[in-house]
């Protein structure tokens, strides 16, 4: 699972660099998200702008990433494509996550973190 990480002073952006989060990559996604969110800034934004398909396993992996956040850390979402946004709406997970239209709406300067 290819995740690209960028930091600002107080935000970590984790960009999913693939077009699918599904059963085939769900475990890898959860493990990689744990690695990237265990340290660094307290606020983590998951950029899903490249993801065009998310199945129930993928949704479960995103929710698991939220649940595994250390105390005080926040996971927010950004850039949901129409099909992915529909999954979040239908499952009412759009009420659980803070969702930003895109990364530019957050307005931070970023640097590569790994």
pLDDT tens digits, the chain, 114 residues: what are they? 899 999 987 899 999 999 999 999 999 999 999 999 888 889 999 999 999 999 999 999 999 999 999 878 999 999 999 999 999 999 999 999 999 999 888 865 544 444
User: Whole-angstrom Cα distance, residue 112 to residue 114?
Assistant: 6
- H-helix or E-strand containing 78? strand 74-78
Fold of domain 3-107: Transcription Regulator spoIIAA (3.30.750)
User: Whole-angstrom Cα distance, residue 56 to residue 61?
Assistant: 9
The domains of the chain are located at 3-107
This prediction has a pTM of 0.90
């Amino acid at each position: 699972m290819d995740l690209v990480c960028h930091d600002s002073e107080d935000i970590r952006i984790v960009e999913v660099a693939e077009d699918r989060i599904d059963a085939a990559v769900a475990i890898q996604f959860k493990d990689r998200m744990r690695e990237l969110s265990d340290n660094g800034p307290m606020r983590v934004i998951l950029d899903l702008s490249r993801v065009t398909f998310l199945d129930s396993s993928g949704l479960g992996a995103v929710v698991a990433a939220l649940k595994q956040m250390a105390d005080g850390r926040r996971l927010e979402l950004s850039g949901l494509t129409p099909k992915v946004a529909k999954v979040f709406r239908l499952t009412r997970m759009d009420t659980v996550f803070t969702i930003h239209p895109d990364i530019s709406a957050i307005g931070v300067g970023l640097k590569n973190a790994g």
